[in-house]
Amino acid sequence: MVTSFKPTFVSDALLKDAAYVNGKWIKKSEQVFEVTDPATGEVIMKLPDQDVEIVDEAIDAAYSAFKTFKNSTVRQRATWLRKLYTLMMDNIEDLGKILSWENGKPLAEGIGEIKYAASFFEWYAEEAPRIYGTTITAGIETNRVFTRREPVGVCGIICPWNFPSAMITRKAGAALAAGCTIVLKPDSQTPLSALAIAHLAHEAGLPAGVFNVVLSHTRTPEFGIKLCESPKVRKVSFTGSTAVGKILMKQCSSTLKKLSFELGGNAPLIVFEDADMDKAVDEAVACKFRGLGQTCVCANRFYVQESIMDEFASKFAEKVKKFVIGHGLKEGVTHGCMINPKAIEKVEAHSKDAIEKGAKVVVAGGRLPDLGPTFYSPTVLSHVPQSADVASQETFGPLCAMIPFKTAEEVVGYANDTEVGLAAYVFSKNIDTIYTVSEALETGMVSCNTGVFSDSTVPFGGVKESGFGREGSLHGIEDYTVIKSTIIGGLPKRM
């Protein structure tokens, strides 16, 4: 079994054991829930499993704070966001250790996420002063028309465990830049990263009630209902499964909230025979096994042209065999553990199904009981049939399933044969192929000749049942604003 790892922090101030509401740390609760190290099962911290009334308190605080925060100058909001960015970078080692400890990903990957997360505060510090309106030539000669973008109001933010820092900042950064206040519900498996960011928001000087974090494990559905049905909350942003997104959308219908959802994916990665083989292999490995495959945009289906299938699979396997799996905080480890033992079951089910339907085993992989119940060595399969479950269902784990194809038309048909459409990847040296295939794919994002595209400048989001709305980029702030049109009539005719 993996031995206990308790990181040493420069400052323990980032480790919080309470909710953060209206500028205060609140522990009141008759129950607690445990945050555990997924690699060892050891308890990291006990947090209050709060009653649903804490959500009402947080909403009321955010609603009250919004009345003044919405009128803060864009330069003041930019200053707060820039301070948050600086504080995250100043504390990057501690934040990375907290993230790795509660999530299980390697420390290097955790620190990489903190850099990515902080970049959204930096980006939106620069975007806050650029929330522009428009002037419009009216159809009536004596009228004048102009618009301005106003903050939508209190925003409920519900985040997942797999990116416990970045999923917060790319939502909160845009909301704060627009002049909105927020109530954040982090996943109960990884709440410590959210509380650390709340501590930094406090240190940055954000007014009380602007940034709130509520905590619960057993009452998560009730917390969601509160955020969705409260008339004081004017927007909900959620990252998670499509099934839960549909539930939240129904709950929000009673108040017709503004919504943005980043939901499930089933990303195809397509490798054409004219691709740079070594480059494609390196990028595909990075894409597939970031977070050990527990990301919404990692490649789930590998479509490899028949003529290069065996060579690609062999080179890919050699890279995978060099992985060092272990506790994320142990030096030299390249890949950590799964979030919980249940996550492994789907990997095994998809592997078994594909093999029974004719797939070839390139790297067997499997559980690593000597390390612990959450450790799994990646499985690589080639010549997987399109009829396999992995072709139509998201595995969300370390299974690489390579499906052969012959033509561009065939593979586009395979790739689009799904109800979701978040990300896709295309590898080819032929610019005609890159253009035509990327345009034909039914996804919100297409990454060409690179397996990792995470960047605060990129509009992030999907189509179909992968959700709607965009996070990051110049478009990310739009979902946190509403357009107000002002019409001035009865003016003199133009001279």
Tell me whether the CATH fold assigned to 12-263+468-482 matches the one assigned to 267-458: no
Determine the Cα–Cα distance for residues 343 and 103; give it in Å rounded to an integer. Answer: 13
pLDDT, residue 389, reads 98
Report which of 260, 196, 246, 199 is spatially closest to residue 470, judged by C-alpha positions.
Answer: 260
Tokens 């994002």 correspond to: 445
Report the residue count for the chain. Answer: 495
For residue 255, give the DSSP letter. T
User: Cβ neighbours of residue 222 under 8 Å, at least 6 residues apart?
Assistant: 52, 216
Determine the Cα–Cα distance for residues 445 and 455; give it in Å rounded to an integer. Answer: 12
Report which of 86, 109, 308, 75 is spatially closest to residue 204, judged by C-alpha positions.
Answer: 86
Q: Where do the structural domains in the chain lie, given as residue ranges?
A: 12-263+468-482, 267-458
The answer to whether the CB of 441 falls within 8 A of the CB of 412 is yes
CA distances from 365 to 2, 31, 95, 376 (A): 18, 40, 31, 7
477: tokens are 């702030």
Q: Please spell the DSSP secondary structure of 2-61, one letter per residue.
A: PPP-----S-GGG---SEEETTEEE---S-EEEEE-TTT--EEEEEE---THHHHHHHHH
**Residues acting as catalytic residues:** 262
**Per-residue pLDDT tens digits of the chain, which is 495 residues long:** 777 888 999 989 999 999 999 999 999 898 999 999 999 999 999 999 999 999 999 999 999 999 999 999 999 999 999 999 999 999 999 999 999 999 999 999 999 999 999 999 999 999 999 999 999 999 999 999 999 999 999 999 999 999 999 999 999 999 999 999 999 999 999 999 999 999 999 999 999 999 999 999 999 999 999 999 999 999 999 999 999 999 999 999 999 999 999 999 999 999 999 999 999 999 999 999 999 999 999 999 999 999 999 999 999 999 999 999 999 999 999 999 999 999 999 999 999 999 999 999 999 999 999 999 999 999 999 999 999 999 999 999 999 999 999 999 999 999 999 999 999 999 999 999 999 999 999 999 999 999 999 999 999 999 999 999 999 999 999 999 999 999 999 999 888
19: tokens are 């909710």
pLDDT, residue 334, reads 97
pLDDT, residue 494, reads 84
CATH class of 267-458: alpha beta
In CATH terms, 12-263+468-482 corresponds, of 3.40.605.10, 3.40.50.2300, 3.40.50.1440, 3.40.50.300, to 3.40.605.10
Torsion of CA 230, 231, 232, 237, to 10 degrees: 70
Question: Which DSSP helix (H) or strand (E) runs through 64?
Answer: helix 53-69
Determine the Cα–Cα distance for residues 308 and 448; give it in Å rounded to an integer. Answer: 18
CA distances from 426 to 24, 209, 313, 395, 436 (A): 48, 45, 17, 20, 11
pLDDT, residue 447, reads 98
Query: pTM for this one?
Result: 0.96
Determine the Cα–Cα distance for residues 104 and 164; give it in Å rounded to an integer. Answer: 11
Three-state SS sequence of 429-471: CCHHHHHHHHHHCCCCEEEECCCCCCCCCCCECCEECCEECCE
